[in-house]
Structure 1
Amino acid sequence: MPDTLAAPLTAGSVARIQRRTVGTLAAGQVLGSVAFGATVSLGALLAADISGQDSLSGFATATVTLGAAVAAIPLARLAARRGRRFSLSLGNLLALAGIVVVVTAAAIRSFPLLLVGVLMIGAGNAGNLQSRFAATDLATTERRGRDLSIVVWATTVGGVVGPLLLPVGESLGRTLGMPPLTGSYLFSCAAQLGALVLYLVALHPDPLLTAQRLARSGEARKEHIVEVDRPVAARYAIFAVAGSHVVMASVMAMTPVHLAHMVSADTVTAVVGVTIAIHVFGMYGLSPVFGILADRWGRLRVILLGQGLLIASLLTAALLSNAEGGVMLALVLLGLGWSAATVSGAALLTEATVTSQRPRRQGRSDSIMAFSAAIGAAAAGAILGWIGYGGLALCALVIVAAVIALSPLGRR
């Protein structure tokens, strides 16, 4: 099937393409989030187990975000040349290869090889992250936040189910003779294969290539095309998204390790699975609400709402760090704050950027976001060992304060 339609594009045909694109991307996000959600919870535990040192556990999350950072810009450039379908499918292939490497590393107890596999999974997740931008390629100004948030919301299903599959995966892995803590990668592999087939078969015509055609030809309505470039607002959007992601990633990465010292060894897998599941629900479950608010209230106000939720989360984590229920509440608020800032920040970045520059800035945003989170996650392990989980939460407040202080730039 062709990547773009040969027939002239009308407002009605563009709307139909957009609806089909959002549906396909949402289904792909369900599968991709099952794959990623079933493994992200295991990264820190595998790293600590294989290395024998809790202080190195943060390197798993740091490496997965580093992989996303390295791959974000190349995948965005490929999308600009060959379309979203090509870049998303390539991301699925990278993640599949990474899963094989991680399971092999666990079998031979190789910490460096584990990081290589996690790096590849992170590179694959860079493609998955770009799905939210693909939802904005043909969106109108009035629905940009809503369409983006629908794709983000679809991650709820897999993101919640994935961590809950950890006990089942462990049982299945033992039956098949797999290394400890790797059984859930079977679900990840199946989900990645499903997403790959979906994108190859159903993502036609390609939304980005179609948007580029609209920009060149002037077909359909002008509201699909951004004609005014606002680089200062775009840079603030990148900073707000990256800062919020650093806060979320650093605290979330250390939560499994912190909980492992609070609960018994027999229940740690289940407790970690439930905690990460409700955190992921916070990240994605209310994203359509934040998308609607971003369309109605404005992008900047919802970014600031997200910072308020992050402050509530970090204070809860600091004050109730020794209570299992307090940690769970903090993780829910952490997810909600991340969701508000990410949905509205991505919408602001898109509408502050002309169509021809979108893939480049979107790739740069994902790369900066992932690089910053990789540094934050690596530092989080050291901070956890130094001043504990509550101290880590208080340190993260500095980043939230910076996002709030620089918010006037988002109005330019």
Structure 2
Amino acid sequence: MTTSVPAHLGDVPGSQAQRRTLFVLVAAQALSGAGLAAGLTVGALLAQDMLGSTSLAGLPSALGTAGSALAAVTVGRISQARGRRPGLVAGYLAGAVGSVGIIAAAVADNPILLFVALFVYGAGTSTNLQARYAGADLADPAHRASAVSTVLVATTLGGVAGPNLTAPTSDLAHELGIPQLAGPFLLASAAYTLAAVVLAIWLRPDPLLLARTLEAQRVAAQPDNAGVLPRPAVEKRGCGVWVGVIVMVLTQFVMVAVMTMTPVHMRDHGHSATATGLVISIHIGAMYLPSPLTGRLVDRYGRSTIAAASGLTLFGAGTVAAGAPHDSVTLLTAALTLLGLGWNLGLVAGTAIITDAAPLATRASTQGIADVTIAIAGATGGMTSGLVVAAADYPTLAIIGGILGLAIVPMIVATARKSLPD
């Protein structure tokens, strides 16, 4: 009996299933990234046009992230009960429905329908992030952050392409008699639907259910616990989920707040839609493209080190954005690149902390609850961003964001010796 049980989750059949899982997740994330990018690029502009108010331009981001909060707990509960595949498929289909609703709202010029549709659309964003946890289910703890980063980087393919398709999809919308700013959501609806189809057909075996099976087999084969994996260093030293949550909450709040108002800031100062799309696409690339390197850094140098680096990077982003001349696309691009990179460092490190601390028996629901908190932070950042810019200006928003990002550093320093691996 002992010989038929993998010595650890990296052995056959776990390693074979892990490779297949990552391959399928990469394909789905490449598609869903395009759906995610649509809302980031034109959501604020669409709301500004329909509502006639800059102070409410952050509302799409707030509603989308509020919807993602509900989706996070829902996807987490479905995954906990039935596995990752049904949870992720349900989330992406909800994102597709929300995209269609946004198009209908734009055609009907109906703000109430827009609000409802944006809320539902947020499920796609949440599911895009929840997929990273599926990549870690079968991963060896020593390579867990690298597995997470592999899933995240796949989002870059669609995420970078999406904003640069703003002009073509807007032209297509015009040809179809749809308001041009709703055009990117045509792409989003198709992208989320295809991502759901890919997962429904090919995400087999389900990584979370297989991980539980391997865990049960290992425990049954080794009743004296001699063969049970040691707990990761994070859990040994009493680190709770809350450390990872705080890191991701702050990075999400800062990233969403500054990113949401950048397209509005650029349009108000005469920049073209093409320039705005380029800046946002580079920003999304910085959010996801460094993930393989980030994962290796987290696995090699520890969660606390990279989490602190995220705070410093976000502070740099806020400082550059605040000091950038209004006509400088170069400096705004640099600021949004740092903003995306800081988010990436915080997300990978925070995800590794949470996954290390959560046992398999409750992992999916714990991760879902953690992402609810993160989504609420994003909703707050999106809504607050418009109010701050309306009351003051974009540089003020940027510097406030930078200071909040920097707050990660003392928090990590205060807890590193007690809770986190060196």
Same fold per superposition (TM over 0.5): yes
Instruction: Choose which of 263, 266, 269 in structure 2 pairs with 1:262.
Output: 269
Q: Which residue of 2 aligns with 1:85?
A: 85
Mapping for residues 119-130 of structure 1, pairs under 5 Å: 119-130=119-130
Distance 1:299 1:47 in 2: 38
Shift, 1:224, TM fit: 9.4
2:247 corresponds to 1:240: yes
- Rounded Cα–Cα distance in structure 2 between residues aligned with 1:154 and 1:251: 23
Counterpart-to-counterpart distance in 1, 2:237 and 2:65: 28
Q: Distance in 1 between matches of 2:245 and 2:393?
A: 30
Report the counterpart of residue 25 of structure 2 in structure 1. 25
- Structure-to-structure mapping, 1:2-401, within 5 angstroms: 10=6, 11-218=11-218, 222-223=228-229, 228=235, 232-263=239-270, 267=272, 269-322=273-326, 323-401=328-406
Question: 1:40 offset after TM fit, Å?
Answer: 2.3
Tell me which stretches of 4 or more aligned residues in structure 1 moved more than 6 Å.
224-227
Amino acid at match of 1:170: S
- In 1, Cα distance between equivalents of 2:179 and 2:311: 40
Aligned residues of 2:152 and 2:291 also touching (Cα < 8 A) = yes
The answer to whether the 8 A contact 2:134-2:207 is kept is: yes
- The equivalent of 1:3 in structure 2 is none
Structure 2 contact 317–335 (Cα < 8 Å) conserved: yes
| Separation in structure 2 between the aligned mates of residue 385 and residue 9 of structure 1, nearest angstrom | 61
**Partner deviation per Cα, 1:281-319 (whole Å, 9 max, x = no partner):** 110111111100001001110111111111111100111
- Tell me whether 177-186 or 217-226 shows the greater mean CA deviation: 217-226
Identity of aligned pairs, percent?
34
**How far is the alpha carbon of 1:405 from its aligned partner?**
1.7
CA separation of 1:304 and 1:226: change in aligned 2, threshold 3 A? closer
Cα distance in 2 for residues equivalent to 1:355 and 1:64? 29
Give the gaps of 5 or more residues in structure 1.
Answer: 1-7
Question: Cα 1:230–1:132, aligned 2, differ >3 Å: closer, same or farther?
Answer: farther
Cα RMSD after superposing both structures: 1.9
Q: Distance in 2 between matches of 1:312 and 1:285?
A: 19
Per the TM alignment, residue 229 of structure 1 is displaced from its structure 2 partner at its CA by: 6.8
Contact 1:233 1:409 in 2 (8 A): no
SS at match of 1:12: coil
Contact 1:317/1:327 (CA < 8 Å) preserved in 2?
yes
Residues 1:409 and 2:415 aligned together: yes
Q: Distance in 1 between matches of 2:89 and 2:236?
A: 30
- Give the deviation of 1:125 after TM superposition: 2.3
Q: Deviations over 1:75-104 (max 9, x none)?
A: 101101100000110011101111111011
Q: What is the distance in 1 between the residues matched to 2:24 and 2:250?
A: 29
| TM superposition shift of 1:189 | 2.0
1: distance between equivalents of 2:46 and 2:15? 45
Q: Deviations over 1:302-352 (max 9, x none)?
A: 111111111111100111152222111100000011111111110111112
Write the letter of the residue equivalent to 1:37: A
- Is contact 1:25-1:135 (8 Å) kept? yes
Shift of the 225–216 alpha-carbon distance from structure 1 to 2, 3 Å rule, reads farther
Q: Which amino acid aligns with 2:156?
A: T
TM-score, length-scaled by structure 2: 0.91
Q: For the residues of structure 2 that align with 1:321 and 1:383, how far apart are their CA atoms?
A: 19
Q: 1:193-245: per-residue Cα shift (whole Å, max 9, x none)?
A: 21111101110000011112223332697449869576644211111011111
**Contact between 2:243 and 2:353, CA under 8 Å: does it hold in 1?**
no
Look up the equivalent residue of 2:267 and give its one-letter code: A
State how far apart, in whole Å, the 1-side matches of 2:304 and 2:156 are.
24
Which stretches in structure 2 are left out of the alignment for 5+ residues? 222-226
**Which amino acid is 1:296 matched to?**
R
Relative to the length of structure 1, the TM-score reads 0.93
Distance in 1, matches of 2:19 and 2:133, equals 15
On the 8 A contact 1:48/1:57 being kept in 2, the answer is yes
C-alpha separation in 2, matches of 1:64 and 1:112? 14
AA partner of residue 113 (structure 2): L
Q: Deviations over 1:96-150 (max 9, x none)?
A: 1111110111011111211111110102322221110111101001211111101
- In 1, the alpha carbon distance for the partners of 2:355 and 2:268 equals 43
Q: Once the 2 structures are TM-superposed, how far is the Cα of residue 48 of structure 1 from its aligned partner?
A: 0.3
Task: Work out the number of aligned pairs and report it.
Answer: 403
Equivalent pair of 1:58/1:378 in contact (CA under 8 Å): yes
Task: Give the residue type in structure 2 aligned to 1:242.
Answer: V
SS of the residue corresponding to residue 406 of structure 1 reads helix
Secondary structure of 2:155's partner?
helix
